[in-house]
Amino acid sequence: MRNIFSPAPIVVVRTNFSSLFKFYSMTFSLKRGFITVMMFFLASSVFGQADSIDLFVQNQMQQRKIPGLQLAIVRHGKIIKTGNYGLANLQDSIPVSDKTVFTINSITKAFTGVAIVQLLEAGKIRMDAPVSQYLTDIPDTWKPVTVQQLLSHISGIPDIIDEEESVLIASNPEEAWSKVIQMPNDFKPGEKFSYNQTNYLLLGRIIEKLSGMSFQEFIRKEQLEKVGMPKTIQAGFGATKDIVMHAAGGYQYQKGKLTNMFFSLPPVLQTAAGMSSTAGELANWVIALQSMQLLKQPASFKALWTPALLNNGETRGFSRLLNGYAAGWPVIKRTDHPALAPVGGNRSALFVYPNDDLSIIVLTNLSGGSPDVFIDELAGLFIPDMKEANGFGLSPSLKNLKISLDQSGYKNAIEEVKKLKKTKSGFTAAEKEINSLGYKLLSQKRIQDALEIFKLNVYLYPDSANAYDSLGEIYEILGNTELAIKNYDQSLKLNPQNKNADQHLKLLRSGK
C-alpha cells in the first residue's frame, strides 16, 4: 500500500526549448484512490532532440503531476545543465524561465547551518556549547541543549509550530513564544530526532547576537552577496507573503483537485524556511561553498556535514533515505554514493554527492512533488551504478535477487528466493522492500515483472494485509477483476480496517 495522488485535470506544459505538450489522463484504480498515468503526444519534432535528462524530468512531472520545475546540475565545479519545464503560474499560463524564483522552504536551514559554521570559524561559537552560553532568557530545561543539537533537531525542545496545521501554536509570534517557553520538553536532549522549528528560531537569535546584525542581513552579506545571487537577494525572506518578481505560484492537490497554496512565516522563523531562489543561483551557491569561497577551512565541512549522533551513538533523520541530519543539512548516510540532501516543503531538493563531485538541484511549485524521491535516479544518468534498474538503493539481498531475476525471468521469483536462501548466507527479503521493488517495476511499466514480485510477497508473507492489497491492485491494473476481488477480500479479512481494499471492492463489484 502506498500514498498516491488522485486524478488531475489535463495540464498544458511548456518547456524551455519551446515544445508544447498536452497531457491526457488515463486513469486506472490504485489504492487510496485513482492514479493518473499521463500520456503525452508530440507537438513538434523538437522533442526528438531532447536529451535523456529532459525526458527523465518530463516523465517525473507527468507521473507526479508537477505544474512547473526548474533544474540545475553541477559536475566538477561547473554548471553543466539547467532546465526550465512547465508552468510557473497556471492562472496566466506563464512558463518557467531562468528568471523564475521558487520558494525553497526548509532548504533555508542549509544557509543557516553555513552561517553558524562561519561564526565557528570566526571563533564566536562552539558546536558543543550549551545554548545558555549565548542566550540567557530561555527556560532552564532548554539551557543544557547544545548548538549542535539545535542544528540537528535532537534538542527535545517543544515546537512553536503546530505540526498538523503548519501554523504557530498561537495567533501571533509573541503569544506563541510565551506559550512554548511554558511547555515541557518533549524528550531529553540527544534522545531522538524530532523535526522542530523552535530550534531554528533560537539559532536565528544566536546569529543576530554574535554577528551584530539580523539573520537576514548576515546571510545576505556573508553568503548571497559573496556568491552573486541577485534574484535570491531580491526575493528576500518573506516566503509567499512578499511580492516577488517572477515568483512561481504554489500549488497542492486537495481531494484530487489542484489548488493554490499560500503560506508565510513571521521574521523569527525565517531562519527555518523563509527563502526563495532559483536552481541556477543555488547551483552557484553550492559551487562557492565547495570551492572555499564561503568557508575558509576544509575542516569546517566536518562540522557542517557530519550527522549528529544520538545518545545511543546512532544517527536519525526523516526517513530510510534521509537517515541523518547535520548542521541544517539532511544526510543520506550509506556506503555507496552518500549525499547531503536539503529538502523543502515536499517540493524542492538540493542533493550534493561529495564523493562523486556531483550536485543536483530540483525546484518545483507543487507541494507533494517530492523531487528528493527521484534525484538519486537522475544522478544515475551520470553514475550508472546508481540507476534503479541496476538495483541501486536495494539491500544486498534484494539486489542479488533482482540481478538473478533480470537474468532468469521474474516468473522464477519464488524459486530464486528458495535458492538464494540456501546459497547466500544471511539472505533476507523484507516485506516492505519487496513491496517497494514491485512498485518500482510498476513505475517502469514492467507490469508483468511487478506482478511476480507482488505474488512473491504474498508467498513469503501470507499474513500481510498489505501484500494482498498490492497484489489486488496490480490485478486490477491488468483488468483481472476476479483475482483483484479475491486478493482485496483476503486483505480485508486480515485487516478489517483497510479502507482502501473496502473502497476498491465496492467499485469492482459495482462494475464502475
DSSP per residue over 319-380, as a string? SSSS-EE-SS-EEE--SSS-EE--EETTTEEEEEEGGGTEEEEEEESEET--GGGTHHHHHT
The predicted structure's pLDDT at residue 153: 98
Which regions of the chain carry the CATH code 1.25.40.10? Answer: 388-510
All residues at 6 or more sequence positions from 503 whose CB lies less than 8 Å from its CB, including other chains: none
- Whether the CB-CB separation of 63 and 35 falls below 8 Å is answered with no
Residues β-bridged to residue 69: 85, 364
Per residue in 325-346, pLDDT tens? 999 999 999 989 999 999 999 9
* Interatomic CA distance for residues 284 and 269, integer angstroms: 25
Sort strands 358-364 and 343-344 into parallel, antiparallel or unpaired.
Answer: unpaired
What are the phi and psi torsion angles at 6 (to 5°)? -80, 170
Which regions of the chain carry the CATH code 3.40.710.10? Answer: 105-335
Least confident piece of the model among 17-26, 204-213, 437-446, 496-505: 17-26
Q: What is the mean pLDDT of residues 277-295?
A: 99
Task: Quickly count: other Cβ atoms within 10 Å of residue 42's Cβ.
Answer: 11
> What CATH code would you report for 105-335?
3.40.710.10
- Whether the CB-CB separation of 397 and 427 falls below 8 Å is answered with yes
Per residue in 202-257, pLDDT tens? 999 999 999 999 999 999 999 999 999 999 999 998 755 667 889 999 999 998 89
Query: Which residues of 224-357 form beta strands (DSSP E)?
Result: 251-254, 257-260, 276-277, 324-325, 330-332, 339-340, 343-344, 348-353
* Interatomic CA distance for residues 371 and 378, integer angstroms: 10
* Interatomic CA distance for residues 471 and 489, integer angstroms: 11
CATH topology of domain 388-510: 1.25.40
Per residue in 473-487, pLDDT tens? 999 999 999 999 999
* Interatomic CA distance for residues 29 and 174, integer angstroms: 48
When pLDDT is cut at 50, 70 and 90, the band that residue 20 belongs to is very low
Which residue in 482, 484, 475 sits closest to 447, CA to CA?
A: 475
The predicted structure's pLDDT at residue 165: 62
